[in-house]
Amino acid sequence: MSQVLHPIEKKIIKFLRANPNSSLTQIEKGTKLGMDQCRRGVEWLKLKNYAIVKDSEKIFVSLGENGLVAKEHGLPEYSCVPTSFDQPLSISTVRSELKSDFDPAIGIARRNGWISIGDGFITLTAKPPENESPLLQLLKFIGEKKIPISDIKNKKSLEELKNRPGYLVFESDKSKYISLTPISETIQIQEDVIVVKKKSSQFEKSDGRAIDVEADTEQIFVAKTHPLNDTINEIREIFVTLGFSEILGNQTQSSFWNFDALFTPQDHPARELQDTFYLDGIVSKKIATPKQIQQVSKVHKKGWRYFWSISEAQKMVLRTHTTCVTIKYLAENKPDEARVFSLGRVFRNEKVSYKHLVEFNQIEGIVVGKNTTLRDLMGIQREFYRRLGLNKVKFWPTFFPYTEPSLQSMVYNERLKKWVELFGMGIFRQEVTKPLGITKPVLAWGGGIERIAMLKYELDDVRELYNNNLKWLRSVSKCP
Amino acid sequence: MPVVELELPRLQKLVGKTNRKKLMETLPFLGLDIESQENDNIRVEYSPNRPDYSTDLGIALGLQGLLGTKKGIPKLKIKKIGDFQIKVDSSVSKVRPFVTCIVALNGKIDDQVLKQIIVMQEDLHFGIGRRRKKSSIGIHDLDSISFPLTYTTTTRNHKFIPLNSTKENTISEILKNTEVGKDYGNILGNFPKVPIIIDSLGNTVSFPPIINSSLTTVTTKTKNLFVEVTGIDKTDVEDMLSIVATILQSAGFELCTVKISGAKNSTPQFKQRKISLKSNLVNTMLGLNLPSSKIISALKKCRLDAIAKKTNIVCTIPRYRFDIFGEMDLVEEVALGYGIENLTPTLSPPQTHGEKNKELQVLNNLSHIMVGLGFMEALNSSLTSKKLLYDLTNRDHSNIISVIDSKSEEHKILRDSLVPGLINNLSNNIHEPYPQKLFEMGTIFSKGNPINEEIHLASVSAHNDSNFSELKSFLQSALKTGFNIECKTKTSSHPTFEKGSTAEIIVNDKTFGIIGKIDSKVQENFKIRVPVFGFEIKLTGLIFD
């Protein structure tokens, strides 16, 4: 038999010892437990043979309308009795006073031998007893309350009042009444066991008695790495297994690498303050080699026909994409064959909303090689999504200033029942690669990671990922 | 991305020989994202490099190609009837040197066409016009204008009745009092004289790039149009005009040439370009093996012309496709014409071996150790507010790094420390059960050459029994277990931490961070009611270079 009791059970036992035969509602009130907890606790105690539950019916009585009047003004049979023998009362006066009570009142008074009737008058024949009538006593006993019928001793008066219409109202209450079994008397309840704090070991060290291995236990919050970082690491892992190596770069970049090197003209709307974060008063003196600067400015002048300004290129920005890291790598290494990726935070001057953050994570992978085609890039991407468990993928054309052709991938979201846009891809424009001395075609693909995390954790508001709401962090599953 | 509204029955009529389902399926393959649909109306996003898609007329041209109903270049037919002339005075060369024009005759302008033209004009102004700075369009009722015209300059006292007004205004008044004047007046700088187009009767036609004259207002009764584009570069203005001309022709107008002369201006030629494309490039880039004939047919579906010439394909580009720079742009056109849906993905084995980054692996290990010690990982943004980073935490802000014109109050300053973010996290979680132990690893920024970026680790422990030795032992065991690093703590002070319970973290006689009890005033600022201990340590230079 189980001997370790749940705190709920202990509370109920304590209460029932003081209040045997209580209803669930009474237990709820007395123990301050929730109704569900009471039900559960009673059920457990029943199974352990500590409690019995009886279905019983209790009948309650309270006064009806006529009963209440009689309690205040006395019983009507007294009102029809003349006060002295020589002063008979006129029937019509009494009738108008008592109204509907007249007939029963006269009947009772005559039956009691108090009056006789003749010639339209009521004559006193015997004085009613001086003591208060037991009926009125009972009416006053009940008063305004609702009383279990078992509390009323004078059953005769009760029967009599019951026969008078509108005097008494009966209600029955069918409910379960719980009481303890004799066996429960052996239970000893320590005073502080209701607090579960670190006491469990005391119980378990018990003198050879068995423990309740089925009892509920305290919830422990598991420390975890952040779900977004888990997603990032998962994506990292997939890139590495697809043959990509990770390169790192700064989050603060000169406009040169963030924009100019990517053939984005200096008057392009994306470069405006309202889209890009510029660092106040901070410029980079040494942005690139003189040759790189000269070649990039040349291709801008030719392609976009404007005056290219170096001071514009020196302005420091918070990178708007990780492409600046990859292009810098390509310009420095000029590989014939490579698969590298850069992952990290990027910034956009946006209004924060359920779908936009000012700061989010982006990954970008590039493939440089002899026999690398757009279809290969699509294949790598489809494989990437497959490993993330996203199997329905299609591709649409799109536009990026620095790639041509450019595609975007659409992935079907089973939960939202619609296609969502995920990663973009394309082949770097020659206007980007040539000035930096990159001769091989460069295929790039990538996109925002938060979107994938939102799919994974079924979030509809991207801000959740940065709220650090402990309730969410503690409850979110490590492997959703 | 700019957005254009389309009415499906009208679009269907413009495209011809198609149904709605096909139409909806084909739009994304032109690069047009359907943003929303409400019955007959859809909103689609188009790419800024395709300003011809700013109207349903332009989109219809593209759809006809992909659906195969009409292929090849929609050729501009420009007649030389009438005597439309504009002379350019050299005085404009300092303010807005170039003008180019076209006349469009015998068209029908219903509400729909008018709406499309207005939207196109706005989109062109905003996009390739760079908010009218580079180039801007004026579209006028031809029949209210007397030719020849003059494009010249005038003083700011010059008067005329501007569009949507009934009384004469001076240029200065227009710049001061109208919305467009206020929005675009700065393009004209402080020049005493401003550009103006005057007709032969001396009436003002247009005050570019600000506003047209009321005299030439286009209504649904207008049949003939005069279009002028002004700007700072000759090619740019002709680019813009070529779009308008193509759209107006497909709206049913007949185009007529306007003779332009003076101050380096000349009549626009709408010349087509030829680019030669190697089939080999197409096939190696796309991973296909298409014969020249297939490539040519794909190009024609993109409303270009092409013929085979030996191993090359000579492609003809209409004037309005100035988004095409070179061969690679044509490779994309082939892909679109061939159909992206027909490109099947292939997965070849990688020629390279993927490698994890060492530095990140070290950081990953450290984060596992912190989790093992019972700390939950938090993530805060690098951009934060001065209030949070300095004011509430009582820190010195003399080296603040801010961004310009942030749209969000909470994201104006680059963090130079992680602890303030973590204290803020505790503050947002005061209703959650304690103990609360958090850590974060991330980049912090400081002024340098020009900006230094370093990785820090910070952690906080908040509960009734938290104390200095608890946190110190966590710190020491993390460094010892992870990297066999011994660290010491030396009495110190810090504005965020409480006096007497604060120490510097020392490794090999060098300071790497700070540890201690969060100052009670700081705690009060964040409304935290349990004691909080925290540390922050620089990892760059400690566990990696």
Whole-complex ipTM: 0.88
Distance of CA A124 to the CA centre of its chain: 78
C-beta atoms surrounding A107 within 10 Å:
12
- A165 touching B (Cβ < 8 Å): no
The sheet with strand B33-38 has its strands ordered as: B3-7, B41-45, B33-38
CB-nearest to A240 from B329, B354, B428 is B354
pLDDT at residue A223 above 90? yes
CB-nearest to A225 from B327, B367, B425 is B367
Domains of chain B: 3-67 (3.30.56.10), 78-266 (3.50.40.10), 273-340 (3.30.56.10), 358-538 (3.30.930.10)
For residue A473, the chain B residues in CB contact (below 8 A) are: 376, 378
Between positions 476 and 515 of B, the ones with CB within 8 A of A are: none
Q: Judge: B332–A405 Cβ closer than 8 Å, yes or no.
A: yes
CA–CA gap between residue A71 and residue A166 (Å, rounded): 12
pLDDT at residue A62 above 80? yes
C-beta atoms surrounding A122 within 10 Å:
22
Two structure tokens written together for A263: 């053939």
Q: Judge: A375–B354 Cβ closer than 8 Å, yes or no.
A: no
Q: What is the pTM of this model?
A: 0.76
CA–CA gap between residue B194 and residue A51 (Å, rounded): 99
DSSP state of A50: S
Question: Mean pLDDT, to the nearest integer, of B400-406?
Answer: 93
Q: What is the mean pLDDT of chain B?
A: 92
Contact B205, B230 (CB under 8 A): no
- Pick from A85, A84, A89, A86: nearest CA to A105: A89
Smallest CA–CA distance from A235 into chain B, residue:
B356
Residue type, B458: A
Instruction: Name the helix (H) or strand (E) containing A7.
Output: helix A7-18
Contact B379, A464 (CB under 8 A): no
- Interface-testing mutation among B128, B411, B540, with chain A (most A C-beta atoms within 10 A): B411
- Would you call A30 helix, strand, or coil by DSSP? helix
CB-nearest to A277 from B130, B377, B406 is B406
DSSP state of B492: -
pLDDT at residue A191 above 60? no
Protein fold of A63-172: Arc Repressor Mutant, subunit A (1.10.10)
CATH 3.30.930.10 maps onto chain A at 228-475
CATH 1.10.10 maps onto chain A at 63-172
For residue A395, the chain B residues in CB contact (below 8 A) are: 340-341, 343, 345
CA–CA gap between residue B471 and residue B485 (Å, rounded): 16
CA–CA gap between residue B422 and residue B461 (Å, rounded): 10
Q: Which residues lie below 8 Å from residue A302, measured CB to CB, with a gap of 6+?
A: none
A177, with CB counted inside 10 A (0-12, 13-18, 19+), is middle
- Interface size A-B, in CB pairs within 8 Å, comes to 255
For residue B359, the chain A residues in CB contact (below 8 A) are: 248
Contact A224, A399 (CB under 8 A): no
Closest Cα in chain B, distance from residue A30 (Å): 27
pLDDT tens digits, residue range B89-125? 999 998 999 999 999 998 888 888 888 888 898 889 9
Question: Mean pLDDT, to the nearest integer, of A416-440?
Answer: 91
pLDDT at residue B272 above 90? yes
Contact A336, A368 (CB under 8 A): yes
Q: Judge: A371–B127 Cβ closer than 8 Å, yes or no.
A: no
- Pick from A106, A112, A111, A78: nearest CA to A92: A106
For residue B127, the chain A residues in CB contact (below 8 A) are: 269
- Would you call A208 helix, strand, or coil by DSSP? coil
Two structure tokens written together for B502: 């604060």
**Residues recorded for chain B:** 545
Q: Under CATH, which architecture does the A228-475 domain have?
A: 2-Layer Sandwich (3.30)
- The pLDDT assigned to B423 comes to 97
pLDDT tens digits, residue range B311-332? 899 999 999 999 999 899 999 9
| Look-up of token digits 């040439």 | B257
CA–CA gap between residue A334 and residue A442 (Å, rounded): 10
Q: Predicted confidence band at A66 (pLDDT cuts at 50, 70, 90)?
A: confident
CA–CA gap between residue B256 and residue B272 (Å, rounded): 18
- Interface-testing mutation among B331, B381, B460, B464, with chain A (most A C-beta atoms within 10 A): B381
Contact B215, B144 (CB under 8 A): yes
Helix A374-387 crosses helix B279-286 at what angle (to 10 degrees)?
10
Angle at B219 between CA B216 and CA B220, to 5 degrees: 150
Contact B233, B98 (CB under 8 A): yes
Between positions 231 and 270 of A, the ones with CB within 8 A of B are: 233, 236, 239-248, 250-252, 267, 269
Q: Predicted confidence band at A209 (pLDDT cuts at 50, 70, 90)?
A: low
Q: Judge: B354–A242 Cβ closer than 8 Å, yes or no.
A: yes
pLDDT at residue A301 above 80? yes
Dihedrals φ, ψ of A404, to 5°? -165, 120
For residue A431, the chain B residues in CB contact (below 8 A) are: 325
DSSP E strand stretches across B235-297: 254-257, 259-262, 265-266, 273-278
Give the HSE-up count for residue A428: Cα atoms under 13 Å, Cβ half-sphere: 31
- Pick from B437, B60, B90: nearest CA to B252: B60
Cα separations in angstroms, B238 against B102, B118, B129, B199, B268? 10, 19, 11, 22, 7
Phi-psi region of B330 (alpha: psi -120 to 50; beta: other; left: phi over 0): alpha
B294 versus A136: the higher-pLDDT residue is B294
Between positions 418 and 447 of B, the ones with CB within 8 A of A are: 425, 428-429, 432-433, 436-438, 443, 445, 447
pLDDT tens digits, residue range B367-390? 999 999 999 999 999 999 999 999
pLDDT at residue A302 above 80? yes
Instruction: Name the helix (H) or strand (E) containing B231.
Output: strand B225-231
- The pLDDT assigned to A309 comes to 94
- The pLDDT assigned to A131 comes to 76
Two structure tokens written together for A367: 């493939």
- Would you call A25 helix, strand, or coil by DSSP? helix
Q: Predicted confidence band at B139 (pLDDT cuts at 50, 70, 90)?
A: very high
Residues in a beta bridge with A252? A318
Phi-psi region of B226 (alpha: psi -120 to 50; beta: other; left: phi over 0): beta
pLDDT tens digits, residue range B511-520? 999 999 999 9
Cα separations in angstroms, B294 against B228, B278, B291, B341? 40, 13, 6, 16
Q: Is the dihedral of CA B8, B57, B295, A406 positive or negative?
A: negative
Question: Mean pLDDT, to the nearest integer, of B6-18?
Answer: 88
- N-terminal to C-terminal alpha carbon distance within chain B: 42
Angle at B456 between CA B505 and CA B383, to 5 degrees: 135
CA–CA gap between residue A426 and residue A321 (Å, rounded): 15
Two structure tokens written together for A113: 């031998």
Render the burial of A12-26: b for 16+ CB within 10 Å, e for the rest: bbbbbeeeeebbbeb
- The pLDDT assigned to A1 comes to 43
DSSP E strand stretches across A319-466: 338-347, 359-368, 393-397, 403-413, 418-428, 442-448
